Amino acid sequence: MRKDHRPWAIKRAFIKLEKHYTRHFIAPQLTRLGRGDRFMRPWHVKLFGAPIEIGRCATVIAASDAKVRLSVWPQAVGQGRIAIGDYGLLCPGVRVSSACAVTIGNNCMLANGVYVTDSDWHDIYNRLAMGRAEAVSVGDNVWIGDGATVCKGVQIGENSIIGAGSVVVREIPANSVAAGNPARVVKTLDTTNAFVTRQSWFDQAHNLADEFKAWDQALLNGNSLLGWLRASLFPTRDD
């Protein structure tokens, strides 16, 4: 489809369905879910184990062919934990797996297909054993690009950017751009420039909701129920 053919009333009902599903099926599985969350296609979000915490104003986008998976498989009693801070963004296909501890700070963005893990999951010689685990820490305002992998024991400093497809196996200092396999620092950010984080979107939450509503109504203006059904069942080149 080249455009969204749904009437505004249908999209509004769909958003309410997503919110109801999140409250009924997702929130009870989480140790903590902050207020102001937005789960898109939450039925494609898969959770396993505990504790899993997600902070305020999280945006989680899942798809049928790119599910979001957050899994805790404890290496030992009392271990295994996923904690994601406020204002986070998880895009389709994101996977976070913990046997020890994975901590992701505030305002972090994980792009499509990112994988964060704190364990090897199998020993080098004894493939029946769990393998080595070491905590992962991702600082505030970190952006991890499409298809990147963050491995056990890694610490990524605040404001840093991980390039698409990178494999991070060692510490990345704050205010850096890292890329490659294994990922290496290729640029240092100018900290005299102010960072605008995702939090700034939510500082005026009421105005933001009104802006999104007006944008949706303008985008869907003129759509009809019959037109939506026709485009869904009998699409043409113009759709």
Say if residue 61 is in the same domain as residue 164.
yes
Q: Please report whether residue 14 resides in a domain.
A: no
In a 10 Å sphere around its CB, with 0-12 CB exposed, 13-18 middle and 19+ buried, how is residue 56 labelled? middle
* Residue 137 banded pLDDT, cuts 50, 70, 90: very high
The answer to whether residue 122 is catalytic is: yes
- Number of domains the chain contains: 2
- Catalogue the long-range contacts made by 216-222 (C-beta closer than 8 Å, 24 or more residues apart): 216/8, 216/11, 217/8, 219/3, 219/4, 220/4, 220/6, 220/7, 220/8, 220/11, 221/8
160 and 223 co-located in one domain:
no
% of residues, the chain, pLDDT over 90: 73
For 44-48, 197-201, 233-237, which range has the lowest pLDDT when averaged over its residues?
A: 233-237
Instruction: Give residue 227's pLDDT.
Output: 78
**Which pLDDT value is given to residue 205?**
63
Q: Which domain holds residue 95?
A: 33-196
* Catalytic residue from among 5, 20, 122, 206: 122
CA distances from 219 to 15, 63, 170, 213 (A): 16, 22, 45, 10
117 shares its domain with 231: no
pLDDT of residue 210: 75
Our CA angle for 45, 20, 60, nearest 5°, is 35
Same domain for 168 and 58?
A: yes
71-125 tens-digit pLDDT:
999 987 778 999 999 999 999 999 999 999 999 999 999 999 999 999 999 988 9
> Which pLDDT does position 1 carry in this prediction?
59
